[in-house]
A and B are shown apart, each in its own frame.
Chain A
Amino acid sequence: MTRWTRKRWLAALSVVLFASFSTAAFARQGAEQKAKAPARAKAWTPPRTPWGEPDLQGVYSNRTITPFERPEEFAGKATLTDEETAELERRVVDRSADKRDGKGTEADVSRAYNEFWWDRGTKVTTNRSSLLIDPADGRVPPLTAEAQRRALDEWQQPALRGGGANGRGADSYRDRSLFERCITRGMPGAMSPSAYNNNYRIVQSPGYVVVSIEMLGGTRIIPTDGRAHVNNGLRQWMGDSRGHWENNTLVVETTNFTNKTLYRGAAENLRLIEHFTRVDADTIDYRFTVEDPTTFTRPWTVAVPYLRTDEQMFEYACHEGNYGMEGILSGARFQEAAK
């Protein structure tokens, strides 16, 4: 490693470690969260479209305070009691108290603004202690040795540094995350809960299911007519999705990802399997399974309740005024010049 790359590496690492600490409070909020599991379908029969498919249509929110991975405090505990749920929800109310205890710290800057600008939810939407349901410990399985080496290599490539969940460095807009650049949260990021704009509209027509995504916008048009995936050489930022019906469940397989998007270390070898099952009038049991033997030591599955909402979808035209990007890059230049 040259001195230059070492310097870059250390700078990048410090940024990331800092970001990790600065968001530790939020991560802890994750730990505070849990949700009422969608009542699993008993004998409920979903309505059908006029052409006979299960009807998933409507606007849904996947907002939840249930943590993505199982927090340490719930190790060995897949589901939570009513008391634990109440405690989690109480902590969220407490979190919403707009505390300024870290005034003058990066953590306080990272909280960005008053709580009323956020829409992270205040309720659990499942009684599970994590959205991640497989493996049984509720944690993302370890990366393969190859993926660990690759992560470090990618770390040193500016063009890829912005491809992950978080940008590192500010030499160029390309160093910033695809989310900050208003491009995409990728898959399955785009289908996962966020801090606001957690709404989705599902529309069906014969041979297609369409999912419109509020956060960053974007529409997934998923053929369900049995056609094959596009040619293996055609790679897309959101992959190439094909759906089919298994009883009352829509199963979607997405492949053909690019190496420009990273999901927890997985890129072009990612194979994503999603299950959409309407389990009652107001709930879709949404699941995705992440498969990439070059990245993860085993496949893993996340289940997120999608709850019907009366909200209307709003446009999130992120490029409209992304002054933040300008501020980040010009801020870095200003600070370099001041040194």
Chain B
Amino acid sequence: MKRHHPLQLALVTGALAALAAATPVRAHHAFAAEFDSTQPITLRGAVTRVEWINPHTWIHLDVKDSSGKVVEWMIEGGTPNTLLRRGVDKNSLPAGTEIVVEGYRAKNGTNRANGRDLTLPNGRKLFLGSSGTGAPADGKDPSEAK
């Protein structure tokens, strides 16, 4: 049997325990493995289509770059199942809707990002403002009753 340094054992055991403790609330996959925390990005553009698929939705967006050229971006969101439960469906975000995405660019250098924070240009949280959705409130949405 291979010999292991006791510190390695302690570290691995500790790391496993910490992971296990964190496990119940994870997303389906590790976003930090897919997106780059050192490349935060803000995108503003018009929705071209929504891929209403599992395990995660993808919102396609036409974004004008600094030279005025239109570039397509893909934005990763959560499972459609949760949105369905909140009364949102694939027609809730029609093509042409302008949205603002704050997120992180994909590590693979493509025009993909996660939609860490999705808002409408007026600052209203995307989907969150839909009435009767039961979505968690964050107090920032002007439509939320104080």
**A residues apposed to B, CB below 8 Å:** 1, 9, 13, 15-20, 22-24, 26-27, 29-30, 68-69, 93, 96-98, 100, 103-106, 108-120, 122, 140, 143, 148-149, 151-153, 155, 164-167, 170, 176-177, 179-180, 182, 192-197, 214, 264-265, 311, 314-318, 320-325, 327-328, 330-335
Contacts and interface: CB of A to CB of B under 8 A. Distances in A.
A13 B16 CA distance: 10
A314 B102 CA distance: 29
A109 B116 contact: yes
A182 B32 contact: no
21 contacts: A15-B33, A19-B19, A20-B15, A20-B19, A22-B32, A27-B18, A29-B25, A68-B23, A106-B37, A109-B31, A109-B32, A110-B32, A111-B116, A112-B78, A113-B118, A114-B125, A114-B127, A118-B82, A151-B13, A328-B33, A330-B107
Interface in B20-62: 20-38, 40, 51, 53-56, 58
Given A20-B15, A96-B136, A112 B116 contact: yes
B25 A23 contact: yes
B93 interface: no
Nearest to B56: A324
B125 A316 contact: no
B141 to A, nearest CB: 10
B139 to A, nearest CB: 6
Contact of B23 (A122, A149, A165, A320): A165
Nearest to A315: B54
Interface string B118-135: 100000011110000101
Interface of B is mostly: mixed
B31 A117 contact: no
Contact of B9 (A97, A108, A148, A316): A148
B114 to A, nearest CB: 6
B4 A152 contact: yes
Given A26-B25, A331-B34, 13 more contacts: A17-B11, A20-B19, A114-B138, A115-B135, A116-B136, A180-B28, A214-B81, A314-B80, A316-B81, A318-B28, A322-B55, A323-B74, A328-B33
Interface in B89-122: 102, 104, 106-110, 112, 114-118
A117 B78 contact: yes
B15 A98 contact: no
Nearest to A9: B8
Given A111-B116, A165-B23, A194-B24, A104 B37 contact: yes
The 7 residue pairs across chains A and B that have the minimum distance between CB atoms: A117-B78, A331-B107, A96-B136, A23-B22, A20-B18, A116-B135, A321-B53
A268 B118 CA distance: 44
B146 interface: no
Contacts of A117: 77-79, 82-83
Contact of B28 (A96, A179, A265): A179
A97 B74 CA distance: 25
A128 B43 CA distance: 44
B140 interface: yes
B71 interface: no
B90 to A, nearest CB: 13
Given A114-B128, A193-B24, A108 B51 contact: no
Given A179-B29, A316-B81, A324-B29, A166 B8 contact: no
Contacts of B85: 119, 311
Given A152-B9, A180-B29, A331-B107, A116 B86 contact: yes
